[in-house]
Structure 1
């Protein structure tokens, strides 16, 4: 058995990690696979103790960890939930994760929560709300937070700027970093007819702290194909090509393989991570 290592103070490398889900926990604890880092959902640690914290403590000794939140609803016109913010701060203090991230979206209003990460209108008003809430979040946590672009299936006719300009302005005005989900960029490019390469080329490399990759489901709608960000397939070849372009432009970044439904054997996720790692190594070894 390998000796326990405490990774709490270490940064996440520019390597490929895996989102750790409950069906794979036993495998990870028993086999200790050579994965550079794992990501867990922040809200799963909001309990005071119990089995999840026991598992987390064991994983944390051997791997760097990032925490990814889904419940803050940063884009809602409602004030941030103080209880949620307090629990998140307590988890961050207790775990000292290498990265902390949330989403550029809303998911609650008037005390009612929706089971989705809903897109924002890309307007100055929505941007002002996001900046205010991100400022409040980063002040509460006393650290920079990465914000992820979300997939969407509707768009607002009164949006006054493209999504990439909204993200750039958010990072510039709030000081947050960006978690660039390349799969979501591709999904939105098909669903809304935007140029995915132009999207990536408009992102300031200095703002990108992490990249996500996942699989989608293709449906046929009345107006053509509709892509659903289901996280239950391998990464699509078109997304791999877009990821290669992202790495070429941004340079190597910590990258995460996400898979949340119909989970395959852990070895499938390791194979996805291997493919992403090959892209990173090609970029890292290219002559300057």
Structure 2
């Protein structure tokens, strides 16, 4: 006699299981939804800022529910203040966990930065000194966040405009030790590498050679603005308001040549263009991924 299986819940039925998207994705913008749904050539995934969906309902969730039926969703946090001195906000973690449970994201990520002090919240991602004391605090915070969310985190390398004279180790050594002690994965933002390298006069190629690439589970690409500091030297701003530059594409191809295909997000958060423009950036990333895919990833050949 055949054993009757218990019925699947409505929650299970509305959340398809997708394989790891070894392709490009895009940051979801609500104004793009109609064009996304009409597009016959899909991107690999969409990523959203978790803080934009921490309300209980309304149009934002209706749109994300619709998108989740057709695409993997990645959640990217921007306000956890992993590097801050204060304890993590437990209410923030609770609301984040509700999103994880609701959308079952493929990836959950946060920044190596801080944005809170006492009761103040700063609308920026501020750098930390690379010291043993800060390292221990960051590891503790990641442990707490991973336990609260029930998921591993990916930690993103920062874009920085100042450096601390009190730092005791390099950024790459700091990040490597965080990952070793916390078990988190890494999100490599290639634009951040170029921004920081230019602002602090070090080699982005050497940074990537020192970076623990084997722990990278996602890559971000974005555009930056070029300004000048008080001495007339180039100052790059991680503005997310224009196409990816040729220098960033070249660094990205170097990484993919070593790693093979890794889910790659195009970030464009300000002066957001039409979907066709953002999709063209994603297509350019897919072309690079496809060149280094070999025969292991037929979905990239189809995308190309």
Smaller-chain TM-score bracket:
over 0.9
> C-alpha deviations, 1:200-245, integer Å up to 9, x for none?
1222233111000000000022230000000011101000110011
Structure 1 contact 7–62 (Cα < 8 Å) conserved: no
Q: Structure 2: which 5+ residue stretches go unaligned?
A: 1-12, 297-304
Are residues 8 and 205 of structure 1, via their aligned partners in 2, closer, same or farther at CA, if it must alter by over 3 Å? farther
Aligned to 1:134: 142
Structure 1 contact 148–180 (Cα < 8 Å) conserved: yes
Aligned to 1:76: 84
Aligned to 1:284: 293
Aligned to 1:189: 197
For the residues of structure 2 that align with 1:23 and 1:158, how far apart are their CA atoms?
A: 45
> C-alpha deviations, 1:72-100, integer Å up to 9, x for none?
00110100001101000111111111111
Structure 1 contact 218–226 (Cα < 8 Å) conserved: yes
1:164 positional shift: 0.9
Query: Secondary structure of 1:117's match?
Result: strand
Aligned with 2:187 (options 167, 179, 187): 179
1:274 positional shift: 1.3
For the residues of structure 1 that align with 2:173 and 2:161, how far apart are their CA atoms?
A: 19
Q: Is the aligned partner of 1:54 residue 2:62?
A: yes
> C-alpha deviations, 1:239-269, integer Å up to 9, x for none?
0110011112222110000001111111111
Are residues 45 and 112 of structure 1, via their aligned partners in 2, closer, same or farther at CA, if it must alter by over 3 Å? same
Q: TM-score, normalised by structure 2?
A: 0.89
Aligned with 1:85 (options 93, 116, 120): 93
For the residues of structure 2 that align with 1:286 and 1:182, how far apart are their CA atoms?
A: 26
Aligned to 2:25: 17
Aligned to 1:230: 239
1:32 positional shift: 6.0
Query: Secondary structure of 1:243's match?
Result: helix
Query: Secondary structure of 1:44's match?
Result: helix
The higher radius of gyration belongs to: 2
Aligned residue pairs, count: 283
Aligned to 2:283: 274
1:25 positional shift: 2.4
Q: Structure 1: which 5+ residue stretches go unaligned?
A: none
**Correspondences of 1:1-288 after superposition (within 5 Å):** 8-31=16-39, 33-223=41-231, 224-285=233-294
For the residues of structure 1 that align with 2:285 and 2:38, how far apart are their CA atoms?
A: 25
